[in-house]
Structure 1
């Protein structure tokens, strides 16, 4: 079928809306009509050419939500008409990682996905008669996409898809960092560095876990105000003295839990140094550039602080994303203010929280 898609033809260039050929889904695959898609900094990073593992041409996008149109042989978990959220982090429910509660890093299709292919090692996309690789197994900057069944989370039809797409990446990453990775305890103190989508998700997650004090650190007064709306009890304007500000707020000890959600290794170090002596846990949810190094003074670790990484918040997507959407529908997560219907330019300007593309 012929579809329209926003194609990254070359790094550093604006995306071009092109007609692309999309093949029918094979066994275990699903054709999804996309209704909305978030624009993530990972898309920007790849489009810029800064990612050494990036490739072009491709169709970017991984924060999609839409409606199932057609399913391939053997697909049982979704059917035509179902509303789904796309998952760059799949869940086969069978590999050793999926069967373990300790990680969400499914192994089933990881190797082919990283190469830009679907599980059988081929692509469903053609541009000007030539095969074109997928992006993160999703390629959601398009009217339609074909994806593996194991990379789709079936969600309630009551949730607007323009909001549901936010749970495909950033919002779930922050929520899961607090609820899955850190497992924040009720009555504790938490500090979140960064008030973008991931950071605000972590603020919400800490609130849902019952943290008594939630401090948010960011450079933007607008974002800090939004953090308060979502549960932050205190805010700090970021900068070189952020660690001292956290220590001043916590009697000199630091916070029980800290979260880094900016992708800056300098801020990651601040998050480590803001964690409490004895038992503080720093959860790193931001994604640094490839090759960047986090330098940590060993003394901070010897005195009891710990560091944990959190990919997609430890969320097992097919199971937990629908649960997060239900929390949104119950009013526990106010995701609607995050939706801004503008694209890459807004993200590059560091304004707003998440840009959402709607497909008419």
Structure 2
């Protein structure tokens, strides 16, 4: 696609989208209207989109303050159809990744080298609106909410210019979409947040798409022992293919899993990663790190109602507990670099995509996710 056409530029586009009319209701493929981009906005024709556990949490009502009806999705690639007034760094025809974590380049967080969040992010606020507090989606005469600045379960979406980054036009869009969330989150948690060192020991709790991406990061960083932890032993073969040296199932042991890991690693791993999003495994991951120098990174997103209660002595004695969205990457600055690394074969994403489905079969993709039968399902539009 070469960009905007005379048929669509400046006009409302009718297209198909997966609308969640309410929490815990089946997704409905509907015809929606997508308004043209306003000033400093971009309208994107989606090419491919991964199905992430966070989307599932959203649709099941596990994210407080999320407003329905809404169009979910946040891990995608697409081609710019048109741009609004004032957009100068992206043009029609560009290949882009929509960003659930914006980078405006002007707020305190964006100007802080140690931070990768942005004041324009809707994560935690969940207004479900564009920056001017209006929506670009309507269906059957009703306004539809946006989802964390992206809404990519639709053939066309509109995002703020701070919420899209141009990528190499030669990048395979069906794989590059994983850099919009899952892969970047897991990989960055190892190489960017924890800063795993050569020869170190690591434990990765949860061997889904994000966990396997964390395994890849640990391997690229040179870890000598990478232990995958999951209650589904069927995931172990793929984890070892991605770089895990050992895999253990907590259900196979009578003692707590952190004690098992301590016995395997001289009293605890150097780095532990929680890639599931439950407080129980967060505590297990923390306890599995070495008491005097271990680092634990919270990667998984827990339901909004979850509360983490831990013994302060676990930290006071010498452990470090960290958290970071999106692997600590500054989205606009770092995604193009990650795309270059992918194309230079610094890491291989082929093993992370277990299923590809046409967009109209999105509900099947969520079934695969909930049955634990996929790593990452990519929808093709």
The question of 1:338 aligning with 2:338 is answered no
TM-score w.r.t. structure 1 length?
Answer: 0.95
Structure 1 residues 111 and 160: CA distance shift in structure 2, 3 A = closer
What residue in structure 2 maps to residue 260 of structure 1?
274
Q: Quick check: 1:21–1:127 contact (8 Å CA) kept in 2?
A: yes
What residue in structure 2 maps to residue 46 of structure 1?
58
What residue in structure 2 maps to residue 322 of structure 1?
336
What residue in structure 1 maps to residue 4 of structure 2?
none
Deviation of 1:37 after TM superposition, in Å, equals 0.8
Alpha-carbon separation, structure 1, partners of 2:184 and 2:29: 29
Q: Quick check: 1:113–1:119 contact (8 Å CA) kept in 2?
A: no
The farther-off stretch of 267-276 and 211-220 is: 211-220
What residue in structure 2 maps to residue 118 of structure 1?
130
Alpha-carbon separation, structure 2, partners of 1:113 and 1:292: 17
Structure 1 residues 109 and 295: CA distance shift in structure 2, 3 A = closer
What residue in structure 2 maps to residue 191 of structure 1?
203
Alpha-carbon separation, structure 2, partners of 1:17 and 1:309: 36
Alpha-carbon separation, structure 1, partners of 2:125 and 2:270: 37
**Unmatched 5+ stretches in structure 1:** none
Tell me which of 351, 360, 370 is aligned to 1:348: 370
Tell me which of 264, 281, 286 is aligned to 1:249: 264
Q: 3-state DSSP class of the match of 1:270? A: helix
Alpha-carbon separation, structure 2, partners of 1:220 and 1:324: 30
Tell me which of 136, 153, 164 is aligned to 2:165: 153
Tell me which of 213, 225, 243 is aligned to 2:225: 213
Q: Quick check: 2:242–2:351 contact (8 Å CA) kept in 1?
A: no
Q: Quick check: 1:112–1:118 contact (8 Å CA) kept in 2?
A: no
The question of 1:232 aligning with 2:244 is answered yes
Q: 3-state DSSP class of the match of 2:126? A: helix
Alpha-carbon separation, structure 1, partners of 2:78 and 2:351: 20
Give the length in aligned residue pairs.
358
Q: 3-state DSSP class of the match of 1:20? A: strand
The farther-off stretch of 205-214 and 133-142 is: 205-214
What residue in structure 2 maps to residue 169 of structure 1?
181
Alpha-carbon separation, structure 2, partners of 1:103 and 1:14: 37
Structure 1 residues 68 and 341: CA distance shift in structure 2, 3 A = same
TM-score w.r.t. structure 2 length?
Answer: 0.90
Q: Quick check: 1:338–1:352 contact (8 Å CA) kept in 2?
A: no
Q: Quick check: 1:236–1:245 contact (8 Å CA) kept in 2?
A: no
Q: 3-state DSSP class of the match of 1:357? A: strand
Q: Quick check: 1:82–1:154 contact (8 Å CA) kept in 2?
A: yes
Alpha-carbon separation, structure 2, partners of 1:291 and 1:61: 22
Deviation of 1:158 after TM superposition, in Å, equals 2.1
Alpha-carbon separation, structure 2, partners of 1:275 and 1:118: 41
**Unmatched 5+ stretches in structure 2:** 1-12, 358-364
Deviation of 1:113 after TM superposition, in Å, equals 6.6
Deviation of 1:10 after TM superposition, in Å, equals 2.1
Aligned CA-pair RMSD:
1.6
The farther-off stretch of 325-334 and 347-356 is: 325-334
Q: 3-state DSSP class of the match of 2:212? A: helix
Structure 1 residues 272 and 355: CA distance shift in structure 2, 3 A = same
Deviation of 1:49 after TM superposition, in Å, equals 2.2
Tell me which of 152, 159, 177 is aligned to 1:140: 152
Q: Quick check: 1:112–1:119 contact (8 Å CA) kept in 2?
A: no
Q: Quick check: 1:37–1:61 contact (8 Å CA) kept in 2?
A: yes
Alpha-carbon separation, structure 1, partners of 2:297 and 2:136: 37
Alpha-carbon separation, structure 2, partners of 1:227 and 1:328: 19
